[in-house]
Amino acid sequence: MGNDLKAALFNPLQFASITARNRVVMAPMVTNFASSFDEVTDHQVAYYAERARGGVGTIVVEASPISTRGRISSHQIGSYDDRFIPGLTRLAGAIQDAGAVALLQLCHGGPKILTPAGIRTESVSPVAVREGDVPRALSVAEFRDVRRQFVLAAQRAQKAGFDGIELHAAHFYLLSASLSPYTNRRTDEYGGSVVNRTRLSCEVIEDIKSTLSPDYPVWVRIHACEALDPGLSLVEGRQVASILEAAGADAIHVSAYTLPINKKIKGTVNIRVGAMPLKDTPPGPFLDYAAAIKQAVNIPVIAVAKLDDWIIASRALVDGKCDMVALARQLLCDPYWARKVQSGLSNDIVHCKYCMTCHTAQQRGEAVRCAQNYNLFGKPIYKDT
């Protein structure tokens, strides 16, 4: 039984034109390790290479802003200019050399963008997701600019050798703000019905596929549902996934917005629920959402959130709840999670304590830290080693 369970994690999976060596995905995590000019740095390459060597099959590289306005913090990896291509090329190559598929997550921060003097947040409707920060609603003409910026960013990812991209349509960034009835109050063809709210994401997928190639893999990360009023219901989340599949999406990565937020993040959050399991959250809080989405589509579904117990992760695959499992914080703590599980050394895994040190640093715009692993750029260093 143990071996069957393990085999489920380490079966290869083909999506679009590529094959991942196993079902383990490194989920995207903004690290703020890029330079002050948003360029990939050497230590950032080392950080990702170590996690690819640690055995994951696919790495979704952290959210990369598609425009200068779309940035959510400084020191993000830019994809909004050709000058980023050499750094992106080194990064994709280092991940692939270590045997993992390299995807780049593309993002416009929308209502959560950086707001230096003179810059206002922008979204689909003037609904705040941060305390006192009511965004400006973008026009349809501005949506066309955003679509073009997504395509140019995807082209840069492709030129740099990334195997594909993931669109960040979760966590109330621009595409997510369009999908959610909480943030989308438009009355034109981009608001109202689920089809209308999904329109912007569909157009971005279609533009990318028609400009790059229908085979270029495009994953989309969405909320399955939101504990908000009005929020995306699970029924709507399934419809969104199915509409995105019809538009050409190659996989759906299932996050959600139903968990209590981290109380350490003060003064920045209006919405009192989030996507990040806390210490007390039971494992796999979104697995049943992934299963519900999986029933609505024929493309691979990726589950995420507190899946560091390999038996729970494998069982989700065996039970058909998802096709891949993504881990985020656990891989900061122990980059070799997958390799250790595969070689029967799961007792040696240093487990994430979900203390939120990493997330708190990231939300403050600081370089991500891990309270347990003092060296994120190579072989881990733990307190008593």
Ligand X SMILES: Cc1cc2nc3c(=O)[nH]c(=O)nc-3n(C[C@H](O)[C@H](O)[C@H](O)COP(=O)(O)O)c2cc1C
Active-site amino acid positions: 173
Please report, as ranges, the residues that interact with ligand X according to CB under 6 A: 27-30, 62-63, 105, 168, 170-171, 221, 255, 275-277, 304-306, 327-330, 358-359, 362, 368
Could you tell me the smallest distance in angstroms from the CB atom of residue 192 to ligand X? 26
CA distances (Å), 56 to each of 19, 105, 331, 334, 382, in order? 13, 17, 9, 12, 21
Residue listed under structure tokens 């309270």: 371
Q: Which residue number, 171 or 238, has a Cβ lying nearer to ligand X?
A: 171
Q: Would you say 97 and 49 are in contact if contact means Cβ atoms under 8 Å apart?
A: yes
Q: Which residue number, 72 or 208, has a Cβ lying nearer to ligand X?
A: 72
**Nearest-CA neighbor of 78 among 67, 92, 90, 89?**
67
d(CA 106, CA 88): 13
The long-range contacts involving 310-313, CB below 8 angstroms and separated by at least 24 positions, are: 310/6, 310/9, 310/337, 310/341, 310/346, 311/5, 312/283, 312/284, 312/287, 313/9, 313/24, 313/284
Could you tell me the smallest distance in angstroms from the CB atom of residue 170 to ligand X? 6
Q: Would you say 296 and 249 are in contact if contact means Cβ atoms under 8 Å apart?
A: no
Q: What are phi and psi of 79, to 5 degrees?
A: -135, 20
* Burial tier of 36 (Cβ tally within 10 Å: 0-12, 13-18, 19+): exposed
Could you tell me the smallest distance in angstroms from the CB atom of residue 188 to ligand X? 27
Could you tell me the smallest distance in angstroms from the CB atom of residue 55 to ligand X? 16
Residue listed under structure tokens 């598929």: 101
Could you tell me the smallest distance in angstroms from the CB atom of residue 328 to ligand X? 3
Q: Which residue number, 149 or 176, has a Cβ lying nearer to ligand X?
A: 176
Q: Which residue number, 248 or 274, has a Cβ lying nearer to ligand X?
A: 274
